[in-house]
Structure 1
C-alpha cells in the first residue's frame, strides 16, 4: 500500500470513527439533524456502530486488504444512504456533510483497488 493510500485510509478511518462516536455519545451537532431528517431514535445506536465498524475495518485493512476494501465499500454505501436521507428531508444545504465523510472512504477504496 502506498503512502498516499495509507494516509487517505487513516483519515477515512478517523473521520468515520469520529462520526460514529459522535452519534453514540449523542453529540448535539449530530443528533439534532438526525431528528430533523426523520431518522428514528431507535436507529441511532446501530448507525453509530456501523460507522465504528467501518472505521475498524479500514484499520484492519492495513493487515488484511480485503477487509479494508469491504469496509470502504460499506462506508461509501452508508454515506450514500445519508445523502439520500438528507435530500429526502429537503435539507439541501446539508448534503455536503455526508459527502465530506464519504469522500475519503471513496478515495481509500479507489487507492487500494
Structure 2
C-alpha cells in the first residue's frame, strides 16, 4: 500500500511539474497568469515537503484544484496545446486519486 501511495505522490509531482514547465511557454503576464503561477508554486512546494500522501497534502491539492479549474476553463489564460494536455492529465489523476480519497473524510465542496 505504501508503494502505491509513493507512486501516486510521484505521479502527482511529475504531472504538476510538467504543467508548470509547459505553462512557462505560454504565460502572458495577466492577473490570471500570475494567480496560476502562484498556485503552482505553492502546491509544488507543499508536495516536495511531504514524504507521502496524507490528508493534509490531499487538502492542499484540492485547494490548488478548486481555483485552478475555473481559472483554466473560464479565465483569460491562453494555454498552448502542451499546457492544456498537461492540465487534462493532472485533472484526470486528481479526480481518480485525490477527490476519491478526500471523499472518505467528508464531502468536498467548491469554493
TM-score, normalised to structure 1, is 0.57
Given the superposition, is the C-alpha separation of residues 73 and 17 from structure 1 closer, same or farther in structure 2, using an over 3 Å criterion? same
What is the alpha-carbon root mean square deviation over aligned residues? 3.5
Determine if contact 2:16/2:44 at 8 Å carries over to the other structure. Answer: yes
Q: How many residues get paired?
A: 97
Give the helix-richer structure, 1 or 2: 1
| Consecutive unaligned residues in structure 1, runs of 5 or more | 90-95
Greater RCO structure (CA 8 Å; 6+ sep): 2
Note the C-alpha offset of 1:69: 1.4
Matches within 5 A, 1:1-113: 2-23=2-23, 26-27=24-25, 30-31=26-27, 41-62=30-51, 65-82=54-71, 84-85=73-74, 97=85, 98-109=87-98, 110-111=100-101
State the 4+ residue runs in structure 1 displaced beyond 3 angstroms.
110-113
| Consecutive unaligned residues in structure 2, runs of 5 or more | 78-83, 105-111
TM-score, normalised to structure 2, is 0.58
